[in-house]
Structure 1
Amino acid sequence: MPTSPADHESEHDAARPRRERRKEARPGELLDAALTLFVEKGFAATRVEEVAARAGVSKGTLFLYFPSKEDLFKAVVRENIAGRFDEWNQELEAFDGSSADLVRYCLHSWWERIGMTPASGITKLVMSEARMFPELAAFYEHEVIEPGDRLLRRVLERGISRGDFRPTNLDYAVYSLISPMIFLLMWKHSLGPCCPSTREIDPVQFIDTQVDLILHGLVATPHTLSS
Structure 2
Amino acid sequence: MTESDTAPPTPPRRRRRKEARPGEIIDAGLAEFAENGFAATRLEDVARRAGIAKGTIYRYFASKEDLFEAALSSRLTPFFDDVTGMVDAFPGSTEDLVRAMLPRIYAALFEGGLHVMMRIIITEGGRFPAIAELYHRCVIARGREMISALVARGVRRGEVRESALTDLPMVIVAPAVMTIVWKMTFDRFDPVETERFLAAHVDLVLHGLLAKGPGPAVE
Tell whether the structures are fold-level matches, with TM greater than 0.5: yes
Instruction: Please say if residues 79 and 108 of structure 2, whose CA atoms lie closer than 8 Å, have aligned partners that are also in contact.
Output: no
The structural deviation recorded for 1:154 is 1.0
Root mean square deviation of aligned Cα: 2.4
Rg (Cα) greater in structure: 1
Aligned length: 208
Q: Secondary structure at the match of 1:81?
A: helix
What residue is the counterpart of 1:172 in the other structure?
168
Q: Secondary structure at the match of 1:117?
A: coil
1:216 aligns with 2:211: no
1:46 aligns with 2:41: yes
Tell me the alpha carbon deviations over residues 38-73 of structure 1, each in whole angstroms, 9 at most, x when there is no partner.
121100000000111111111111110101111100
Code of the residue aligned with 2:64 in structure 1: it is K
The structural deviation recorded for 1:5 is 4.9
What residue is the counterpart of 1:205 in the other structure?
196
Indicate the percent of aligned positions where both proteins have the same amino acid: 37
Name whichever of 115-124 and 142-151 sits farther off.
115-124
The structural deviation recorded for 1:186 is 2.1
CA distance in 2, matches of 1:116, 1:8: 38
Q: Please, which of 92, 103, 106 is the counterpart of residue 111 of structure 1?
A: 106
What residue is the counterpart of 1:4 in the other structure?
4
What residue is the counterpart of 1:158 in the other structure?
153
The structural deviation recorded for 1:174 is 2.4
CA distance in 2, matches of 1:20, 1:131: 41
Instruction: Please say if residues 176 and 201 of structure 2, whose CA atoms lie closer than 8 Å, have aligned partners that are also in contact.
Output: no
Code of the residue aligned with 2:168 in structure 1: it is Y
Code of the residue aligned with 2:205 in structure 1: it is I
Change (3 A) 1:173 1:21: closer
Tell me the alpha carbon deviations over residues 92-143 of structure 1, each in whole angstroms, 9 at most, x when there is no partner.
1111121111112221111123322323211110111111111111111111
What residue is the counterpart of 1:36 in the other structure?
31
Q: Please, which of 94, 115, 122 is the counterpart of residue 120 of structure 1?
A: 115
Instruction: Please say if residues 66 and 72 of structure 1, whose CA atoms lie closer than 8 Å, have aligned partners that are also in contact.
Output: yes
The structural deviation recorded for 1:25 is 0.8
- Alignment gaps of 5+ in structure 1: 218-227
CA distance in 2, matches of 1:171, 1:82: 27
Q: Please, which of 60, 64, 79 is the counterpart of residue 65 of structure 1?
A: 60
Tell me the alpha carbon deviations over residues 16-41 of structure 1, each in whole angstroms, 9 at most, x when there is no partner.
6xx77522111001101101111211
CA distance in 2, matches of 1:5, 1:171: 68
The structural deviation recorded for 1:7 is 6.5
CA distance in 2, matches of 1:154, 1:59: 43
What residue is the counterpart of 2:137 in the other structure?
142
Code of the residue aligned with 1:94 in structure 2: it is A
CA distance in 2, matches of 1:136, 1:168: 33
Using structure 2 for the length normalisation, give the TM-score: 0.85
Using structure 1 for the length normalisation, give the TM-score: 0.82
CA distance in 1, matches of 2:30, 2:206: 35
Instruction: Please say if residues 75 and 114 of structure 2, whose CA atoms lie closer than 8 Å, have aligned partners that are also in contact.
Output: yes
What residue is the counterpart of 2:213 in the other structure?
none
Code of the residue aligned with 1:151 in structure 2: it is M
The structural deviation recorded for 1:6 is 7.2
Code of the residue aligned with 2:157 in structure 1: it is R
- Alignment gaps of 5+ in structure 2: 209-219
Change (3 A) 1:72 1:215: same
What residue is the counterpart of 1:81 in the other structure?
76
